[in-house]
Structure 1
Amino acid sequence: MDVSCFKAYDLRGSVPEQLNPALAERIGRAYVEITGARKVIVGYDIRLSSQAVTEALSSGLMAAGADVFDIGLCGTEHVYFATSHYGMDGGIMVTASHNPKNHNGMKMVGPESRPISSDNGLNEIRDRVPQPFANAQVQGRYETLEVTSAYIDHLLDYIDAAALKPMKIVVNAGNGGAGLVIDQLEKHLPFEFIKVHHQPDGNFPHGVPNPLLEENRAVTANAVRDHGAAMGIAWDGDFDRCFFFDENGRFIEGYYIVGLLADQFLRKTGPGKVIHDPRLIWNTRELVQAAGGEPIESKTGHAFIKQRMRDEDAVYGGEMSAHHYFRDFFYCDSGMIPWLLIAERLCQSGKPLSSLIDARIEAYPASGEINRTINEPAEVIAAIEEKYTFGAKSVSFVDGLSIEFDNWRFNLRMSNTEPVVRLNVESRGDIPLMEAKTEELLTEMERLNCPRG
C-alpha cells in the first residue's frame, strides 16, 4: 500500500494516486488506534476531492469507535479552535494548503490541538495503515458542529473594537476559504473590504492560492493601488498563513511582520516571551526587547515553535514564512488574528503601514529566503561553517548554521520539507554589505556544489 503521502508534519499527495477515499478510511481507523481518540473534529478545505476524502476518513474514525464532529468547509485554524474550545480528543483537517489543485492531504492534532508529527505519532499511524483492521464493538456516531459564531467571537477578542476606524482593505482569498471568514467578520468591523478572488472554488481559476509566488502578488498589489486601500492581505488555501501589502502595493517580507506583531501584541499584554525562528533575528529581537519582552529562538517549523511556546508560556510566536502563533489561540497558528492586530495598529497610530515598516527594513535589510538545490547539503554547510567561523562573534546551531559578525549575519539550513538548502542574510543598516555577502555566500555554495573530478 502506498503511504508516500505521509510527510514530516502532515499528509500531502496527489489524488487519487497517493491519497484517495479508500486510503483515507484506513487513515481514520489507524488514527483512532494509535491515539486512542474518542471524540474527533473533522473539517475540510475547498478542494474538489476534499468532501469525498473527508467522508471516507469519517467512516474510518467511526468504524474504529470514535465519534466524529464534522465542522464542514473551513480553514485549518477552525480545526485547531474547535478541538481545544470544545475539549475534543483530536482533530483532522483535510487540506493540501497551497499545493497543486490535484493534491490533497491532512493535518492532524491531538488533545489541546497539539500537533501530531513524525516524531510523536504520525509515523506510527502511517505504519498501522497497511495492517488488517477489525471494527470496534461500538461504532462511533456522527454529528455536525457549528463553530463559526464561537470562532468569530474569539477572533474579535484580540482587538479593541473602539479603536477601529473606517478604512479600505484589499482581501485576496485566492479562491480558498478565507473569504467565508471575512464575510462573517465584516458584520462587526468598520472596514470596507475590496474582495479579490473571493469565492471558494476548488478549480482554482486564478491559480493555486500561494501568495509567496511572485506571479500571484500583482492582483493584490494592483487592487491596493487602484482603490487607495490602507493595506492588502492575501492568504493561502487553508488560510493558516497571511501575507501583507502596504498602501503602495508593496509586498512585505514576513520577517518584518513578525517584529511588528510582536511589538503590537506586547503593547497589549505587557511583558512576555516571544518565540521566533533563527533565520533572521535582529529586527525581532530589538523590537521585542524595546517593548519589554524576551525574545527566544526556536528551531523552524510549527511543531517546534508550538512546543517551545508551551514550554516558555510565550504570548506570541512568529516565523518569517508567515506563520503566526498565539498563546490564547491554543498556541496555534492563525491567518486571521495577525491582520486584525495590524489593522488595529494602523487605526491607533494614524500612520500608513509603509511608515511602520520602512524604518525596520532600513535598520535591518535582509536578503529574503534564497533556495538552492545542493547535492551534498551537509558537506556544503560544514564547509561554509569552517570558512566563516574565523572572526565570527557567535556561531549557533539552533536550526542549521547561524553565524554572526558585528555588522552582518547569516543562517544556512536544510529544508524540513523540500530537497533544498535555504539561505538568509541580514545586516545592520547596510544594504550593499548585505547584498555583497549574499552574493559571496551563493558563489561559495555553487563552487562547493560542483561535482568533484
Structure 2
Amino acid sequence: MSTSATPSYQPATEFNPITISSFKAYDIRGELGVNLDEAIAYRIGRAFAQILYQRYNAATDQQDSDLTDLQPAIVIGSDIRHSSEQLKQATLKGIIDAGVDVIDLGMTGTEEVYFATSYYQALGGIEVTASHNPINYNGLKLVKEHSKPISADEGLAEIQALAESGQFNNSNQLGKLQLLADKSAYIDHVISFIDIDKLKPLKLVINSGNGSAGPVVDLLIEKLAQAGAPIEVIKLHHTPDGSFPNGIPNPMIEANRVATKQAVLENNADLGVAFDGDFDRCFLFDENGEFIDGSYVVGMLAQAFLNKYPNESIVYDPRVIYNTEAVIEAHNGKAVISKSGHSFIKQVMRESGAVYGGEMSAHHYFRDFFYCDSGMIPWLLTIELLSITGKTLSVLVTGYIHAYPSSGELNFRLTTSDAPTIIRAIEDKFSAENPSKSMLDGLSLDFGDWRLNLRASNTEPLVRLNIETRGDKSLLADKVREIKVWLSEQGAVLA
C-alpha cells in the first residue's frame, strides 16, 4: 500500500448554490466546460462522500451489519481521456475534504471500480469516464456499498441536491489518500470464471479502441500464457490514447466495426473482440468477421452458464426475447425478465439470485462478479465455450439467428411528435389484432409469430424499435418496412 501525491485540485473556499445539469438517470455525463468541470466534480465527490459517510455512521450506531463491516473509504479510478485525471483529482479532493479516505486505483475501466468497491469493502466507488461519448465529454459512474448501483431513484438525486446547494459539513479531519493500482486480485477473479485447462488453440483479434482495456488485456493474456493456454492474440488499437486516433471506441456504430472485421479476416482468427472506452461492454465478431448482435450473445452465455449451473435463473431485458427464452427453456433454466438498464437488471438479479444477466446492448452481468457487468468475462467465457464445443462462433449462433431473426435496435429521431404520443399511437394501430401487451419497458406487443418493442430513450429525443419473428425473415422485413413508414408519418425519422 503506497500513498499517492496530494490532490492537485484546490477548491473554492465558499460554495454558492448552482444548478448541475450533467446528472442523468443512472450516472453523470456532461460536456467539458459547459456542464462538467473540476469545480462540479469536486462538489459531486464531496456530496457523495458526505452522504455515504453519514449512512455509515448511522449504521454503526445501530449495528447494521450490512455497513458496519465496511471501511470508511471510497475507491476511485479514471479512464484514459485527457480530462479524466484532472476530474478525478478534483473529485477525490472533495472526498478527502468530507473526511473520508480515498483509494486511488489509477487508470481503470468501470468494472475495476465495481470489483475494488467490494474487494476493499469500501463505502462506494467512482469511475471517471465518458465511455463512448464524444471526446469533449466526460462523466462519473457511482456505486455504493457492495458495488450496488446508484440511480436517480436510489440516491443520485440526493447527491445532486447536496452538490448543487453547497451545504457541506465541515469535517474535523481530512481523509487519507492511498494509491492501490495493482490489478492482481481483479485479474485473478476475472480469470476464475473459466477452466483454463479446457482451452484449445485459438487465435483472437482484440480491439481495445485505444481506451482503457489494453493494460487489462495484457494482464489476462499473460495469465493465460503462464497457465499454458494455447491462445494467440492479435492486438488492435491497443495502446491507451485519450486523443482516440482511431475514433471514439464505440462498436455499436457500424463504421467502427470495420477494422476488427478486417483484422479477423486477414489473420484467419477464430474470434474478434472489441470494447468501448471503459470496457464495460464486450462486442463479438465470428471467424468470418461478422458482428454478432448482443441478443444472441445473451442466449449463448445463458446456455454456457446453464450447462455449468443447471436450473439457475437468467435475467434478460424485454427488447428482444424469443431466442433467450427458448435457450433458457431448452436448458432447464428459470427465465426472469427485467426492465433494461443496469440498475434494474442488477436489482432483479439480486432478488432472484440469478447466475447471469444480459442485455442486447452488450452489457453482461454476473452473480459472482458482485452482480455487476463486465466486458472481460464474456470473451473469456466465449473462448472456453468454443474450446469445449469444438464449434466456431458462427456455428454456435447461426441456429439462434435463423430460428429467431431480429431487426437489431433501430433508432428514430423525433421531429414533430413526442415518445409517449407515438407509443400510444402504435398501440392503437395494432389494437384490432389483439396482441399480448407489456409496458414493462416501453411498449411490447407480441402477435405470436412476431413481436415488437418500442421505447423512449432516457437521454435523447429518440424512440428505439426492435422487431423479431419466429423463424420468418420475410415477415421480419415486411414488418420493419411497414413500421418504418408508419413512424415517419408520425414524425419520427430513422436516425
Q: Tell me, in whole angstroms, the C-alpha distance in 2 between the residues paired with 1:146 and 1:49.
A: 19
Query: In the TM superposition, what is the alpha-carbon distance from 1:399 to its structure 2 partner?
Result: 0.6
Match of 2:163 in 1: 129
Aligned position for 1:347: 387
Matched, 1:385 2:427: yes
Q: Hey, what's the Cα distance between the residues in 2 that align with 1:69 and 1:268?
A: 35
3-state SS in 2 of match to 1:89: strand
Matched length: 451
2:424 partner amino acid: A
1:293 aligned partner: 333
Whole-Å separation in 2 of the counterparts to 1:135 and 1:53: 22
1:120 aligns with 2:154: yes
Shift of 1:131: 2.3
> Structure 1, residues 314-347: CA drift from partner, whole Å, max 9, x if none?
1110000000000000000000011100110001
User: Which position in structure 2 is the counterpart of 1:142?
Assistant: 177
Deviation at 1:66, TM superposition (A): 0.7
% identical aligned pairs = 52
Residue 17 (structure 1) aligned with residue 38 (structure 2): no
Once the two structures are TM-superposed, the CA of residue 448 in structure 1 deviates from its matched residue by 2.5
TM-score (norm 1): 0.97
- Give the C-alpha shift of residue 354 in structure 1: 0.5
Distance in 1, matches of 2:478 and 2:164, equals 52
Describe the SS at the equivalent of 2:362.
coil
CA distance in 1, matches of 2:125, 2:425: 43
Aligned pair partner of 2:143 in 109, 112, 115: 109
- The answer to whether the Cα contact below 8 Å between 2:50 and 2:169 also exists between their aligned partners in 1 is no
Letter in 1 for 2:400: R
Opposite residue 6 of structure 1, the aligned amino acid is F
Aligned residue identity for 1:380: I
Structural RMSD (CA):
1.3
Instruction: Compute the displacement of 1:134 (Å).
Output: 4.4
Per-residue deviation at 1:394? 1.2
Give the counterpart letter for 2:50 in structure 1.
Answer: E
Which sits farther off after the overlay, 31-40 or 362-371? 31-40
SS state at 2:246 partner: coil
Q: Deviations over 1:148-178 (max 9, x none)?
A: 1001110111101110022110000000011
Structure 1, gaps ≥5 residues long: none
Give the Cα–Cα distance (whole angstroms) in 1 for the partners of residues 119 and 333 of structure 2.
Answer: 28
Q: Residue in 2 aligned with 1:92? A: 126
Shift of 1:147: 4.5
Q: Give the conservation status (yes or no) of the 8 Å contact 2:199–2:388.
A: yes
Note the 1:51-450 alignment, pairs <5 A. Answer: 51-132=85-166, 133-189=168-224, 190=229, 191-374=231-414, 375-449=417-491
Give the structure-2-normalised TM-score.
Answer: 0.89
Q: Which moved more, 1:177-186 or 1:130-139?
A: 130-139
Cα offset, 1:270, TM superposition: 1.8
Matched residue, 2:14? none
Q: Work out whether residues 392 and 404 of structure 1, in 8 Å CA contact, stay in contact via their aligned partners in 2.
A: no
Unaligned runs of 5+ in 2: 1-17, 57-71
Deviation larger for 392-401 or 55-64 = 392-401
Task: Look up the match of 2:48.
Answer: 31
Distance in 2 (CA, whole Å) between partners of 1:35 and 1:15 is 26
Write out per-residue CA displacement over residues 120-147 of structure 1, whole angstroms, 9 at most, x where no aligned residue: 1111111111323343112111101244
Which whole-Å CA distance do the structure 2 matches of 1:224 and 1:2 have between them?
48
CA distance in 1, matches of 2:403, 2:458: 30
- Would you say the 8 A contact 2:73–2:100 is kept in 1? yes
4+ runs of 1 displaced by more than 6 Å? Answer: none
